[in-house]
Amino acid sequence: MPATTAEVRLMRRALALAARARGDVCHYPMVGAVVVKNGHVVGEGWFPKPGEPHAEVHALRAAGPAAKGATIVLNLEPCSHFGRTPPCADAVIAAGVKRVVAGMTDPNPLVAGKGFKKLEAAGIEVVTRVLEDECLEFNRVFVKFITTRRPYVILKAGMTLDGKIAAASGDSKWVTGEAARAAVHRMRDEYQAVMVGAGTVRADDCALTARAGKRRHPRPVVVTSSLEIDLKSQVMKTPAEGGPLLFCTRAAEAARIKKFKAAGAEVVVVRKDRDGRADLNAVVDELGALKIASLLVEGGSGLHGALVEARLVDEVVIFVAPKMLGGGVPVTGGSGPARVADGLNLGPMKVKKVGQDLMITARLERPCSRV
């Protein structure tokens, strides 16, 4: 039996519950669950943070004895393996649930349909792919990370109508308005790390902290081939857990690396690309190994251009200010492709007004994983 209209509505409720943990789940998925019996919601829950019970467990606990013979609606397949917590599929079976309505299969290779099979083997009716596209998009950060072991990369920039992020002198205060800058702080609050290049650190001495939302400070990541930034830079004083993360090449002197480590930074040496800079493919691989699943890029023209050329961008967020500079620094640098057809193709744009500026969001035209 397919999902009912009421169950589709409850799936949207499950997504709303899951969203309460946005920014708190790190490299894990956001999951919400609703237990319904005889048309009445008897329990709700969501996965709050790593190490805590999963959404299904919270919802079943809230339902208590009413869970027996009930239906549970959730946006992700219940897990079937032992991790930091026991398998959720076992909890669903033990509670006596008779029907499970799920939004998507868990792309985690440790699950990947095994949770559904365990439920069906226990005699539970399973309905899947309910609002699947919405569920995949909702957890796109998790899907990218768990299937590639690389972070989901968002390139964020504020530019003028003629595509400039700074004047020819390098001055960029302020291209966009106060409302747009506040929106950026809310974005930082939701992502695990924020990356810039050495030039941005030298020019702006940016702290890269989150001054909005829950003030969950992202870990600052600086790509700097020779560690050519000041030891007293604001990024070195970050309150983020783990301290600043610096990526350099073997061009950095050993003594300088030692000084930055002594100052609290984690320094990772990566290979050079063909231009002698830190290879960005190696950088994102290292970030993935550190279980950083979401990366907000707030760099300059050079870093933006290099990421685009390397095809490492998943999503673009551009704030466009009602200004014109004429000359100045473009939003992306580099040589770019010889043909327009070889450019980075993005999907449909979403546009909204943020104060005096426009916020334009577009995602890479690459389908999410469907297990």
From residue 18, how far is each of 12, 33, 369 by CA, in Å? Answer: 10, 8, 20
Question: CA-to-CA distance for 60 and 76, rounded, in angstroms?
Answer: 16
Q: Where would I find the H helices in the chain?
A: 5-18, 55-63, 88-94, 114-121, 132-138, 140-148, 178-190, 198-204, 254-262, 280-289, 301-309
Per-residue pLDDT of the chain (371 residues; tens, 9 = 90+): 788 999 999 999 999 999 999 999 999 999 999 999 999 999 999 999 998 999 999 999 999 999 999 999 999 999 987 667 778 999 999 999 999 999 999 999 888 899 999 999 999 999 999 999 999 999 999 999 999 999 999 999 999 999 999 988 888 888 999 999 999 999 999 999 999 999 999 988 888 888 776 777 899 999 999 999 999 999 999 988 899 999 999 999 999 999 999 999 999 999 999 989 999 999 999 999 999 999 999 999 999 999 999 999 999 999 999 999 988 899 999 888 888 988 888 888 999 999 999 999 999 876 443 33
Domain covering 5-138 assigned CATH 1.10.3470.10 in the classification: no
User: What kind and span of H or E run contains 329?
Assistant: strand 329-330
Quote the pTM value. 0.90
Question: CA-to-CA distance for 177 and 233, rounded, in angstroms?
Answer: 25
Domain with CATH 3.40.430.10 in the chain: 150-363
Token pair listed for 138: 């909702």
Per-residue confidence (pLDDT) for residue 83, from 0 to 100: 67
Q: Using only C-alpha atoms, what is the Rg of the chain?
A: 23
Per-residue confidence (pLDDT) for residue 82, from 0 to 100: 66
Per-residue confidence (pLDDT) for residue 36, from 0 to 100: 97
Known catalytic residues are 56
Domain with CATH 3.40.140.10 in the chain: 5-138
SS3 85: coil
Report which of 266, 248, 267, 312 is spatially closest to residue 285, judged by C-alpha positions: 312
SS3 222: strand
Per-residue confidence (pLDDT) for residue 371, from 0 to 100: 36
Question: CA-to-CA distance for 307 and 312, rounded, in angstroms?
Answer: 5
Residues with Cβ < 8 Å from 363, sequence gap 6 or more? 140, 314, 315, 316, 346, 347
Report which of 231, 273, 133 is spatially closest to residue 284, judged by C-alpha positions: 273
Per-residue confidence (pLDDT) for residue 366, from 0 to 100: 60
Per-residue confidence (pLDDT) for residue 214, from 0 to 100: 74
SS3 193: strand
For domain 150-363, the CATH class is alpha beta
Residues with Cβ < 8 Å from 353, sequence gap 6 or more? 359
